[in-house]
């Protein structure tokens, strides 16, 4: 987890950069019950960097009753997508 300042938002956010869905599943397995939110960091396609695919991130999150919501631009090459536990 990395704390990075939001360039367009008011408060810092906890971000997580993952290269594939197995890393996301491992993080969820370990943290899904103790964490109330995480912002997954994605690289924009034009960056050419490897990152977890959005649809894979959502599929894994749903397995742990987590959902996606807001998106925030970080800079020209990256954005963050917020994931949280689903409310009962």
The residue with greater pLDDT, 5 or 33, is 33
Identify the domain containing residue 39 by its residue range. 2-85
The residue with greater pLDDT, 25 or 11, is 25
Q: For the whole model, what pTM was predicted?
A: 0.80
Number of structural domains in the chain: 1
Check pLDDT > 50 for residue 70: yes
Between strands 38-43 and 13-17, the pairing is: parallel
Shortest CA distance to 67 belongs to which of 22, 37, 34? Answer: 37
Contact call for residues 73 and 7 (beta carbons, < 8 A) = yes
């Amino acid at each position: 987890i990395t704390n990075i300042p939001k360039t367009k938002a008011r408060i810092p956010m906890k971000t997580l950069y993952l290269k594939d869905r197995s890393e996301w599943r491992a993080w969820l397995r370990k943290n899904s019950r103790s964490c109330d939110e995480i912002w997954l960091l994605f690289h924009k396609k034009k960056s050419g960097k490897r990152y977890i695919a959005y649809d894979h991130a959502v599929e894994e999150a749903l397995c742990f009753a987590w959902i996606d919501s807001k998106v925030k631009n970080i800079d020209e090459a990256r954005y963050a997508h917020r994931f949280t536990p689903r409310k009962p």
